[in-house]
């Protein structure tokens, strides 16, 4: 620690692109091959979704006579528009409620001393270690007793409850980093706590809220097990369960199944690519400080 960094810098200087060494090129090639392996299944999925039914079982990456037929059929004839909207509505409602309730809890944990604070906080952290699936059976009966089986409300309520702990944890860390002097300035001006939360904390926490929003969105958009457990009627299906049931009904219509899958995956990839920075920072905050 005390030794000053003498000697030549070990990293290449500012513009690594200008003269790639053999080692850099080698590294690049390895990464490229790995990326190809990562992408291949997606490429197969998209290629198959563009194939006509008679070509679906030929394992080629480039469809011979590409067609958008499968997309049209998936969207129009199979109720996919409905399932897409269900997924979107459930995910958006979940995000809104998780952000609101989670940030309120995070504010309480970050700024107040109160009886039971530690117990409550550690109870939440501890549940982060429990696989969600283990609660499936009792949650099913709680949902029955609340009368929310086979409803989108039943999805939203349990998604919100399941995502609250992580969001609260993430936002509490962020709120704790905001200087208390700002609170004090507002208090002196006569603001109350709700006012501070709403007009100071939330605007400042926008990056953290974005991170939490993305995690929550992806989590509820893709959720499968709870949906398949409580949803019975066709009208309430979400995309993942619709796709899975779809595959069961149309065992060989892989073109149709993968057109539907692509429709489901595109929003996820779009959200991820656009908000990649927030996503990575949130993931690492959860990992490195947890």
**Within a 13 Å sphere around the CA of 68, how many CA atoms are in the beta-carbon half?**
4
Dihedral sign from CA coordinates of 166, 168, 172, 178? positive
Among 79, 161, 250, 275, binds another protein (CB under 8 A): 161
- Kindly state the smallest distance separating residue 133's Cβ from another protein, in Å: 5
The answer to whether 209 and 171 have CB atoms below 8 angstroms apart is yes
Among 11-19, 63-71, 75-83, 88-96, which window interacts with another protein (CB under 8 A)?
Answer: 11-19
- If the CB atoms of residues 93 and 157 are measured against another protein, the closer one turns out to be 157
The answer to whether 141 and 101 have CB atoms below 8 angstroms apart is no
Among 184, 234, 235, 249, binds another protein (CB under 8 A): 184
- Kindly state the smallest distance separating residue 136's Cβ from another protein, in Å: 7
> Structure tokens of 135?
């609660």
- Binding of another protein by 224 (CB under 8 A): yes
Residues within window 60-99 making contact with another protein, judged by CB under 8 A: none
- Kindly state the smallest distance separating residue 81's Cβ from another protein, in Å: 18
Among 83, 174, 213, 236, binds another protein (CB under 8 A): 174
What track of x and - describes contact with another protein for positions 193 through 222 (by CB under 8 A)?
xxx-xxxx--xx-xxx--x------x--xx
- Binding of another protein by 44 (CB under 8 A): yes
Among 36-44, 65-73, 76-84, 88-96, which window interacts with another protein (CB under 8 A)?
Answer: 36-44
- Kindly state the smallest distance separating residue 67's Cβ from another protein, in Å: 18
- Binding of another protein by 112 (CB under 8 A): yes
DSSP string covering 229-264, please?
HH--SGGG--HHHHHHHHHHHTTT-HHHHHHHHHHH
- Kindly state the smallest distance separating residue 286's Cβ from another protein, in Å: 9
Helix H, strand E, coil C: the string for 5-25 is CCCCCCCCCCCCCCCCCHHHH
> Structure tokens of 66?
């590409």
- If the CB atoms of residues 95 and 243 are measured against another protein, the closer one turns out to be 243
Q: Which of 203, 224, 260 is nearest to 84 (CA)?
A: 260
- If the CB atoms of residues 85 and 266 are measured against another protein, the closer one turns out to be 266
Among 69-77, 78-86, 88-96, 265-273, which window interacts with another protein (CB under 8 A)?
Answer: 265-273
3-state secondary structure of 210: helix
Among 63-71, 76-84, 88-96, 116-124, which window interacts with another protein (CB under 8 A)?
Answer: 116-124
Q: Which residues of 138-160 are buried (b: 16+ CB within 10 A; e: fewer)?
A: ebbeebeeeebebbbebbbbbbb
Neighbours of 255 (CB within 10 A): 27
DSSP state of 272: H
- Binding of another protein by 123 (CB under 8 A): yes
> Structure tokens of 202?
């939330």
Contacts of 176 (CB under 8 A, 6+ apart): 110
- Kindly state the smallest distance separating residue 82's Cβ from another protein, in Å: 18
Among 70, 78, 168, 253, binds another protein (CB under 8 A): 168
DSSP state of 275: T
- Residues touching another protein, count (CB under 8 A): 136
């Amino acid at each position: 620690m005390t030794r000053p960094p003498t000697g030549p810098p070990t990293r290449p200087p500012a513009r690594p692109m200008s003269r790639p060494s053999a080692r850099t090129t080698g590294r690049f090639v390895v990464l490229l091959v790995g990326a190809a392996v990562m992408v291949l299944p997606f490429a197969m999925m998209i290629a198959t979704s563009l194939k006509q039914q008679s070509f679906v079982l030929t394992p080629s990456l480039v469809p011979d006579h590409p067609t958008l037929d499968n997309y049209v059929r998936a969207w129009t004839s199979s109720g996919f528009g409905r399932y897409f909207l269900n997924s979107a509505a459930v995910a958006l409602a979940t995000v809104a409620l998780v952000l609101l309730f989670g940030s309120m809890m995070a504010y309480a944990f970050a700024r107040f001393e109160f009886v039971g604070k530690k117990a409550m906080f550690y109870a939440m952290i501890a549940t982060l270690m429990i696989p969600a699936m283990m609660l499936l059976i009792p949650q099913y009966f709680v949902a029955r007793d609340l009368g929310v089986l086979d409803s989108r409300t039943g999805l939203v309520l349990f998604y919100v409850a399941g995502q609250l702990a992580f969001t609260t944890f993430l936002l509490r860390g962020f709120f704790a980093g905001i200087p208390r002097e700002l609170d004090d300035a507002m208090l002196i001006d006569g603001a109350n706590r709700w006012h501070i939360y709403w007009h100071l904390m939330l605007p400042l926490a926008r990056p953290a809220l974005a991170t939490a929003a993305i995690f929550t969105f992806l989590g509820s958009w893709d959720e499968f097990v709870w949906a398949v457990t409580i949803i019975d009627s066709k009208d309430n299906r979400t995309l993942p369960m619709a796709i899975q049931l779809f595959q069961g009904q149309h065992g060989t219509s892989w073109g149709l199944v993968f057109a539907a899958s692509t429709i489901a995956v595109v929003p996820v990839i779009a959200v991820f690519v656009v908000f990649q920075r927030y996503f990575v920072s949130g993931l690492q905050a959860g990992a490195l400080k947890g």
